[in-house]
């Protein structure tokens, strides 16, 4: 399933697609109008992979509207514990 996440330049998560719940479980936060879903998307990523997540976000922001990243793999926590391996691309 493709999970779509909208993140601002500071990393706050503002939208996640319904596929997120199918891939990562039902106990994940939901959006409230005017409030981010998560304070920083890297907080959802395995601690050992957070530097790569931050670099991907910085590259997307710096690359401007034409930017599309190469695929990057990392681990994201499942709602029931444990980690799921995901592959991510970023666009600005």
pLDDT in tens, 20-68: 878 888 665 555 556 666 667 777 889 999 999 889 889 999 998 899 9
pLDDT computed for residue 14 by the predictor:
82
Strand partners, 38: 13
Band (pLDDT 50/70/90 cuts) for residue 73 is very high
Select the more confidently predicted residue: 72 or 39.
72
**How many angstroms separate the CA atoms of 64 and 3, rounded?**
22
Asked if pLDDT for residue 83 goes beyond 90, the answer is: yes
**Quick count: other Cβ atoms within 10 Å of Cβ 10?**
11
Strand partners, 85: 75
pLDDT computed for residue 4 by the predictor:
87
The answer to whether the pTM exceeds 0.85 is no
**How many angstroms separate the CA atoms of 92 and 78, rounded?**
26
């Amino acid at each position: 399933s493709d999970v779509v996440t909208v993140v601002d330049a500071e990393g706050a998560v503002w939208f996640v697609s319904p596929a997120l719940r199918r891939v990562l479980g039902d106990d994940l936060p939901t959006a409230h109008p005017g409030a981010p879903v998560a304070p920083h998307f890297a907080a959802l990523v395995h601690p050992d992979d957070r530097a790569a997540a931050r670099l991907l976000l910085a590259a997307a922001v710096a690359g401007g509207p034409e930017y599309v990243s190469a695929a990057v793999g990392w681990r994201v926590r499942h709602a029931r514990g444990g980690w799921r391996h995901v592959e991510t691309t970023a666009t600005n």
